[in-house]
Amino acid sequence: MNLKNNNEDALIARLSAAKPSDSSPDRVEQLLQLSKTKHAKTSRGPMSLRVKASLIAAPVIASILAFQFQSLTTSSPDLILRIQTTNSQGTNQHAQMGTSSASDCHFATLRCNDMGPLVGEKVIWNYTTAFDNTNNATEGTVYALSSSGRELELAGILKKEFNLTEPVRFAKENDSFVRYVAGSDTGKNVFAGTSLYGTQIAYNNPESDNWSLCQVSKPRNLDCDSITYEAMPSNSEVLEYSKALLGKLGINSGSSLPELSDRDYFSVVKEYDYGRVVISNLVLGGEKTPWAIEMHWSTGSSKVSMFFGTIFSIQDFGLYKTLNAEQSIKRLTELNAYPSGEPPIKYSEKSIIGMPYEEQLKLQQKKENGDSGPIKINVKVTRAEATQVTIFDVNGKTWVVPGYSYFDETGYLGSAPSIDGSHIEIVPRGK
């Protein structure tokens, strides 16, 4: 199976169920892999505009096996996280991984101004603070995420779960990454393999889309008259099935966050015009992290359409001293950080995502009228909330560390790690 499949129409069609969350390099590779089956079915016809929009908001998908969690509870004085600075062409942050409007900005170590007249312009935010800085956390736990090392086993579990008759086969990508696959290139298939961030797993059942496709168009390769409607499982049924499958993978999940422990997964059902999705987010420190594993059902089918995630082994590095919110705020314009917890309802009007188009246009015209240097935006920060944030080091390794989310009177500004400066090295881009 070829990760370099460039059939964008097929990829977009397969992304119809991906709208709930966001995207990463692993997710791009994974969805290109899934799109291979669509490439062989060129007459399936177009999906709705919502489908194409979903490529913009495709999820970062990741999960962590609870029983692989290593209980190292003493912090290492030698820990140094080397984190690369953001792209010089702008520094706006996004509430969740990949919620920017251009796919180029989905990548974990890249932020850019990708909306409206400020595309490509360098922007500097000047922050002043007006919030209570007395209730800040003084320490927080640091977690490191890596590949599970169970790729062959996971491929076998998924093969059995989804009743594939073909044997699991090894497909080596290069010296660093390995992949195990089972199933048909044009039909149901599963895979599990290593990647830069963890162990990718996925199941793809393109036939589950057939009834929906026949409602949108009449693909030449489908006999739509013979395809009958099937009722999807209910919300409670999809939750029950998701919990059972995650259990087979060693993951405990539930729908009541207060009742869950660290390393468990918090599951919710989302309903969309194309079907139902169970989204299960890893819980660390009592919060939902951005890392989720998803299971999809398409309207008109009783069978699972897609199942995907990235499974990690997690190492608990213990507690580390942290900076307060005011000390950490300068990292808003230096580093990418993606917060745990619920995504913000509204972005600040001082951020590129939340800024009205007309205001962006004014700033861009002001620059064209003779202002030299980067565009400067003054921001009064009125609130800081302690949270956990996900960051990526210069080698692509994923870390969940203490941090803060910042807000002004109009909404969310961004997030920043708060781990003490003795344990973090900020590396200029390109070095």
For residue range 174-196, list pLDDT tens digits in order. Answer: 777 889 999 988 889 999 998 87
151: CB partners within 8 A, 6+ apart:
178, 179, 180, 192, 193, 194, 199
pLDDT tens per residue, range 71-125:
334 456 678 999 888 753 333 443 334 333 333 333 333 334 444 556 556 778 8
In this structure, what token pair is assigned to residue 51?
């489908």
133, 259, 280, 400, 401 from 252: Cα distances, Å = 37, 12, 10, 20, 22
pLDDT at 319: 92
Average pLDDT over residues 414-422: 92
Closest CA to 125 of 416, 420, 429, 342: 416
- 299 in Cβ contact with 212 (< 8 Å): yes
Average pLDDT over residues 372-400: 89
In this structure, what token pair is assigned to residue 208?
């589950």
Average pLDDT over residues 26-42: 39
Check the CA dihedral 15-21-24-30 and report its sign: negative
- pTM equals 0.75
What is the number of other CB atoms lying within 10 angstroms of the CB of residue 271? 11
Least reliable range by pLDDT among 288-297, 312-321, 338-347: 338-347
- 278 in Cβ contact with 269 (< 8 Å): yes
CA angle 91, 122, 339 (to 5 degrees): 5
> Is the pLDDT confidence value at 40 over 70?
no
Least reliable range by pLDDT among 233-247, 265-279, 285-299, 337-351: 337-351
- The helix (H) or strand (E) run that includes residue 363 is helix 357-368
Check the CA dihedral 427-428-430-431 and report its sign: negative
Amino acid identity, position 192: A
> Is the pLDDT confidence value at 149 over 50?
yes
